[in-house]
Amino acid sequence: MTLKFDHIIHYVDQLEHFNFPGDILKLKSGGNHHKYGTYNKLAYINENYIELLDVEDNEKLKKMAKTSEGDVAFATQIVQEQYEQGFKNICFRTDDIAKVKQRLDDNDVESVGPIAMEREGKKGNKVKWQLLYIVNNDEKDVKPPFFIQWDDTDAVRHDKLKDEFQTNFSIEMITIKSSQRPQTVANFQQWFDLDIVESTDTYTDLILKTDDIYIRIEDGKQSKYHALLIKDNQANMPFSIFIRGAVYKFEPLV
């Protein structure tokens, strides 16, 4: 199963008026998810990106949240978490989503999908992909990361998006807080075939077999996606930004 970290989702209320301080991360207009009543802006960091997500049709989103798909979908987490701003989820990219689903089935892991999706840009151009979600009814655990397969190959997407890459940055680590770390770690190992890199009294670092971005599961009173660590080859010292419920940490590239 070939998986790579693809993107992280950050819910931002009134996104149309949002920018990062000093435009440290530059945002590109994404488009509209008409199915959910949401829209986004994107900050591309090489092959990965940060998706800033907001609601444009709240009634449509709330209605979608009541469906079986909506129970697991990325956008409806906004409703489920009572419109609390912050990081909502992360997504792993695959080139064979059917094979991923088969692996989950073989391991008796319930899933929903693949689901055909599309986003329409301001010029009417459409980007298409498929999503696959893991069903986890443990309310004390974080919402499981989900899977994406883009219609375009990685090479085609790279060629289309390379001018948007902010190449002085690279994503190093995603930190997830968990009130039941041993169970979350065990789930992530089963679901995503992650390897343990390091484990201490307070956190466990994991990594995908085919990627170099770390996933840290950290003890916390509340289970949630917490922080994003970004290496910056133009920074002289580390600094952090706490904004709209999310923590962005920047460190010099040594």
Q: What does each of the 254 residues of the chain score in pLDDT, given as a tens digit?
A: 789 999 999 999 999 999 999 999 999 988 888 889 999 999 999 989 999 999 999 999 999 999 988 899 999 999 999 999 999 999 999 999 999 999 999 999 999 989 998 877 667 778 899 999 999 878 788 999 999 999 998 899 999 999 999 999 999 999 999 999 999 999 999 999 999 999 999 999 999 999 999 999 999 999 999 999 999 999 899 999 999 999 999 999 87
What are the structural domain ranges in the chain?
3-163, 164-252
* Residue (of 212, 247, 252) closest to 232 by Cα position: 252
Q: What is the pTM of this model?
A: 0.94
User: CB atoms < 10 A from the CB of 41, how many?
Assistant: 21
The SS3 assignment for 88 reads: strand
Residues 37 and 70 sit within 8 Å (Cβ to Cβ): no
- Bridge partners of 82, per DSSP, are none
* Residue (of 48, 51, 44, 29) closest to 163 by Cα position: 44
Q: How far is CA 170 from CA 86, 126, 229, 251, in A?
A: 20, 27, 9, 10
Q: Which fold has domain 164-252?
A: Immunoglobulin-like (2.60.40)
User: CB atoms < 10 A from the CB of 235, how many?
Assistant: 16
CATH of domain 3-163: 3.10.180.10
